[in-house]
Amino acid sequence: MKHFFTEGILNWNTFQNDRSMPWKKEKDPYRIWLSEIILQQTRVEQGRPYYERFISEYPTITDLAAAPDEAVFRLWQGLGYYARCKNMLAAARTVANDHAGIFPKDYTGIAALKGVGAYTAAAIASFAYNLPHAVLDGNVYRVLARFFGIDTPTDTTAGKKLFTQLAQDVLPEQQAGTYNQAIMDFGAVVCKPQQPLCKSCRLAPRCEAYQKGLTDLVPVKSKKLRIKKRYFYYLLPDNGSLRFVRKRTAKDIWQNLHEFPMIETPGPVTTAELLASPEFRQLMGKGKFTVTRESLEKKQQLTHQTIHARFLHISQAASMQPPEGFRAVPASELDQLAFPKIIVDFLKG
Ligand code: SF4
């Protein structure tokens, strides 16, 4: 059964896999690592131009390590999950400073880099050096769960252990890199989350889920993802050509990106309610403020939360000072700072 599975995946890869990706067959561990970091939580189509821009701007890991934080964050802008970018820079600097710019060549050394989890370490180790470490991502969980008919929830300790062992058992040690890429492609192209192509699948004769009509029921997850709604009201004090900005430092989304003065509320509020709130007074100080313009609501979907944002232009007779922690920046220089996507979209108009 395991042999049939492994051979099936390898044969499908040889004769039918035409999924193309710019980093496929890549052997340079820097490029593989970069593509894997970009693709964590990002679709291939979205990540591809970022990968190409990073490679062109920073051809080696030493170039990336030497780049100023702000320049790298700007290049990353739009990908979200900025902790990934921060970890990526930290890892590049570790390789540059502690490994003389040479990417680690063994699994333990790779896994020790910041932002590199078990999946990414296995991907780099197998793609770059053909080391026998099985990758386990959403695609692999799905293919294994369906073919072997496993209904143990994938997000439990028992499930993770079982799938990790099984993934390793079916890995052909001599062809680890090719097989790892093949099973992920197979999951993305054939054994897809919705409407898998079972009728033309070479694994179908022995696939438990297909034979028993369970393809919609496995893999199983024990918990449902809860999406939290957050309401952000950005204030743009009308102070000539100046905007007030600060870098987000709290342990929250968008750490290290910039923002305008902002009030977060537990639910949607009207403009009048916002202006009368103690949070507004605390941020903007005393005086009579008017809203001269306001945007429609903009939305940004993150993995665990939805951000609802509105942008309000605020005017006051007296010249306004930046709220505490903010600095005044000419509007013409905003494009030199990294902002979350929702603000970038607003600035683009
Ligand atoms: S038969 Fe269907 S469910 Fe089974 S491995 Fe093939 S595509 Fe996946």
Q: What kind and span of H or E run contains 66?
A: helix 61-66
Q: Is 9 in the pocket of ligand 1 (CB under 6 A)?
A: no
| Residue-level pLDDT at 23 | 78
Closest CA to 257 of 79, 64, 36, 39: 79
Nearest to 238 by CA among 296, 324, 317: 317
Q: What is the pLDDT of residue 82?
A: 80
Residues near 245 by beta carbon (within 8 Å), at least 6 away in sequence: 258, 259, 260, 326, 327, 329, 334, 337
The architecture of the domain spanning 2-211 is: Orthogonal Bundle (1.10)
Tens-level pLDDT at each residue, the chain (349 residues): 899 999 999 999 999 999 888 778 889 999 999 999 998 878 888 899 999 999 999 999 999 999 999 899 999 988 877 888 999 999 999 999 999 999 999 999 999 999 999 999 999 999 999 999 999 999 999 999 999 999 999 989 999 999 999 999 999 999 999 999 999 999 999 999 999 999 999 999 999 999 999 998 889 888 766 788 999 999 998 777 889 999 998 888 888 899 999 999 989 999 999 988 989 988 888 788 889 889 999 999 887 899 999 999 988 766 678 888 999 999 889 988 999 999 999 988 7
The closest-lying atom of ligand 1 relative to the alpha carbon of residue 207 is 4
Q: What integer pLDDT is reported at residue 169 of this predicted model?
A: 97
Q: Measured from the CB, is residue 196 less than 6 Å from ligand 1? A: yes
- What is the predicted pLDDT for the residue at 8? 97
Whether 207 is in the pocket of ligand 1, judged by its Cβ within 6 Å, is yes
Q: State which ligand 1 atom lies nearest to the alpha carbon of 201.
A: 6
Using an 8 Å Cβ cutoff, are 136 and 171 in contact? no
From 7, 150, 192, 207, give the residue whose CB has the most ligand 1 atoms within 8 Å, as the site to mutate. Answer: 207
190 lines ligand 1 (CB under 6 A): yes
CA angle 306, 139, 111 (to 5 degrees): 85
Tell me the backbone φ, ψ of residue 258, rounded to 5 degrees.
Answer: -95, 165
Active site residues: 36
Q: Report whether residue 124 contacts ligand 1, using a CB cutoff of 6 Å.
A: no
- What's the 19 CA to ligand 1 centre distance in angstroms? 18
CB atoms within 10 A of CB 175: 16
Report residue 179 CA to chain centroid gap. 24
CATH of domain 228-348: 3.90.79.10
From ligand 1's centre to the CA of 5, what distance in Å?
11
Which residue's alpha carbon is nearest to atom 8 within ligand 1? 191
pLDDT at 282: 87
| CB within 8 Å of 180: residues ≥ 6 apart | 122, 123, 126, 127, 134, 135, 171
Q: Is the CB of 116 under 6 A from ligand 1?
A: no
Cα–Cα distance, 345 to 22 (Å, whole number): 28
* pLDDT confidence of residue 288: 83
Q: Where are the domains positioned within the chain?
A: 2-211, 228-348
Residue 303 DSSP code: S
Q: Is the CB of 209 under 6 A from ligand 1?
A: yes
CA of 202 to the centre of ligand 1 (A): 8
